[in-house]
Amino acid sequence: MESPLAIDVQGLTKRFGDRTVVNDISLQVRTGEIYGFLGPNGSGKTTFIRMLCGLLRADAGSGTCLGFDVITASEEIKRQAGYMTQRFSFYEDLSIRENLDFVARIYGVLDRRHAVDQSLERLGLTQRSRQLAGQLSGGWKQRLALAACLIHRPRLLLLDEPTAGVDPQARRDFWEQIHQLAADGLTVLITTHYMDEAERCHRLGYIAYGRLLARGTVTEVIASAGLTTWSVAGPRLPALAVQLRVTPGVQHAVAFGNTLHVSSDDAPALAAAIQPWRTPEYQWSEVKTSLEDVFIHLMSRAPDNFATP
C-alpha cells in the first residue's frame, strides 16, 4: 500500500518576478528516509518546501507528495504532512497546551485531549504546559513546534532549519527523535546549515541559486565532487591562505581551526601548486575531503543567477 517514494517531483520551478528562485528541481525521497537539504541562504530551500506543502504554487513542474499531486491536491498534502517553519510560527500569547490544542482542533484529531496529553508527555513538556509559548527559550520553542507538527500523526515532516539557534544538547536530542520517528516510518525532509547534521541524514541534496547541484549519500556526494584536499599547519596561516588563493591550481584555501584546508578537483595541479610551500616550517598532509569542503567547492562554482549582469 505504502508507495516507496514519499516525494517524487520533476522540474519544479518558481519565479518571483523575473527571478527564478527554484529552477527545475527534481527530487525523489523514499518513504521512511531522512533527506537533508543543504545550501546557502536564499538558495531556494524554503521556497521549494513551501511548494511541496501547497503554500506556493509552482510555475512549472509536476509530481506527487505522499501520492497526491503537488499542484492540484495540496489540501490532501496539508492534511497528511507537518511543516515546521524556519521562524517560530505558533502563538506566543497562547500557552503550550493551548497551541497544541488549537492545532489538534484544526486537523480534527480524534480524542483531542488524550492526543495533546500524550504529545506533551512525549516531549517532556507536561510540567510546562501552562507556560506561554512566548516565554520559552529557543530550544523549548523548537520542541513545541515539533510537537505541534506531529500531533496529527503526519506521514511526512518538512522541517525548515529546525535547529537554528538551538544548543548542542537540544540539537542532539532533536536528532535522536527524528531518527526514532523515521524508524517508525515517517519521512523527513530537513534543511540545515550544519555539516554534522547533514551527516546524520540518510541522503542529501545540495541546492544553490535555485538549482540542485549534488545529491546522494554523504559518501556519494563527497566522491562525486572528486576533490583532493591537503591540510597544512604552521605559522602565519592567514597570510599563507591569501597567497595560496591566488596560486593557479589551488581552488580553495579555507581555515579549519589551526590548520588550513587546501583543495582542488585537479590533484596533480594541486600537488604542483603547493610545492613551493612544502618547507620544514609547514606540516602538510593529504586528508579526507569533508562535506564542507565539497559544499564550499560547489557553491563557488555555481553561477549566481541572481547577480545583476
Partner 1 sequence: MSTPRFSQSLQRFWALVVKEFTQMRRDRLTFAMMIGVPLMQLMLFGFAINSDPKHLPTAVVLADHGPQVRTLLKAIENSGYFTFVGEVRDGREATDLLNRGGAQFVLHIPEDFSRRLQRGESPSVLLEADATDPAATGNALGALRTLMVTALGADARGPLAGLAPAAPVIDLRVHPAFNPEAVTQYNIVPGLMGVVLTMTMVMITSLAITRERERGTMENLLSMPTRPIEVMLGKIVPYILVGYVQVTLILLAARLVFHVPIVGNIFLLFALTSIFIAANLSVGITFSTIAANQLQAVQMSFFFFLPSLLLSGFMFPFRGMPPWAQVLGEVFPLTHFLRIVRGIMLKGNTVHEAFPHAWPIAVFTVLVLAVGAKRYRQTLD
Binding site for partner 1 (CB under 8 A): 53-57, 75, 78-79, 83, 85, 87-94, 98, 102-103, 105-108, 132
- Minimum distance from residue 116 beta carbon to partner 1 (Å): 13
What's the distance, CA 251 to chain centroid?
25
Backbone angles phi, psi at 108, to 5 degrees: 65, 40
Min dist CB 22 to partner 1, Å, is: 14
- Is the sign of the CA dihedral 71, 77, 78, 81 positive or negative? negative
Cell numbers at 260, concatenated: 588550513
Q: 3-state DSSP call for residue 185? A: coil
Q: Could you tell me the smallest distance in angstroms from the CB atom of residue 274 to partner 1?
A: 48
C-beta of 15 vs 172, nearer to partner 1: 15
- Pick the closer one to partner 1 by CB: 38 or 52: 52
The amino acid sitting at 59 is D
- Give least dist CB 101 to partner 1, A: 8
Closer to partner 1 by Cβ: residue 73 or 287:
73
15: which strand partners?
20
- Say if residues 75 and 54 touch (Cβ distance below 8 Å): yes
Residue whose CB is less far from partner 1, 53 or 213: 53
249 contacts: CB under 8 Å, gap ≥ 6: 264, 266, 269, 270, 272, 273
* Residue (32 or 154) nearer to partner 1, CB: 154
Tell the smallest beta-carbon distance from residue 212 to partner 1 (Å). 23
